[in-house]
Chains A and B, each alone.
Chain A
């Protein structure tokens, strides 16, 4: 296996820069982003539940 040094260096720079950006956020900003993540996860769970209900209802014998 060959190692692409340029690609590794680029990935390391991108990771460091992203980390720096994320850490530069204030605590309330970070909490607000967790709240958005949770709201999105809640919506996804509800959609899954609806899809499952629909699937069950369309099964023969239901």
Chain B
């Protein structure tokens, strides 16, 4: 069993035990569900915590539980085999929606959840680093997003300008060079 299998089993255990309400995978590992494999060294896991009793959301219970399930805490990661898992919360309404609407998939018969491609693109637009735009370009070029859904997300979360920049770039790169 690889580190990825162990990590997914541990995350599913956390849901069963009520440590987290639910989770979904984003980042490059999530994107690799739809696109060709892309280089990354960690697994980004976005979690819904059970309704907090205070305004402060603590992840210490999640880390402790993952540790008891075989994970090794290493700075902000919990390592399973070769895979460091980074636990992130539903820090923005967009991320919360992405977790809520993630799709259920199997990884070697282990059930798990992955962000929808449109949410991955919208989160990438919000994050806005060069590598995020590169990922959006891949999603758009490979027709892995529903343009209507992505446009709706961009409108609702104030990302229309960023989406236009990304789509303009893709359309520009598809144009044939002019004959000299």
A interface list, Cβ under 8 A from B = 1-3, 19, 22-23, 25, 27-28, 30-35, 37-39
Contacts and interface: CB of A to CB of B under 8 A. Distances in A.
A38 B82 contact: yes
B36 interface: yes
Interface in B20-35: 28-29, 32-33, 35
Across the A-B interface, give the 10 residue pairs with the lowest CB-CB distance, nearest first: A22-B36, A30-B37, A33-B37, A30-B32, A28-B108, A34-B37, A27-B33, A1-B180, A31-B4, A37-B39
16 contacts: A1-B180, A3-B179, A19-B36, A23-B35, A23-B142, A27-B105, A27-B107, A28-B4, A30-B36, A30-B37, A31-B29, A31-B32, A31-B37, A33-B37, A34-B28, A34-B40
Name, among A28, A30, A31, the residue most crowded by chain B CB atoms within 10 Å (CB to CB): A31
Interface of B: 2, 4, 28-29, 32-33, 35-41, 82, 105, 107-108, 142, 177, 179-180
Contacts of B142: 19, 23
Contacts of A31: 4, 29, 32, 37, 107
Nearest to B35: A23
Contacts of B39: 34, 37-38
Contact of A22 (B33, B37, B41): B37
Nearest to A22: B36
Contacts of B37: 22, 25, 30-31, 33-34, 37
Contacts of A2: 180
Nearest to B33: A27
A25 B177 CA distance: 32
Contacts of A35: 2, 4, 82
Nearest to A39: B82
A38 B41 contact: yes
B120 to A, nearest CB: 14
Contacts of B4: 28, 31, 35
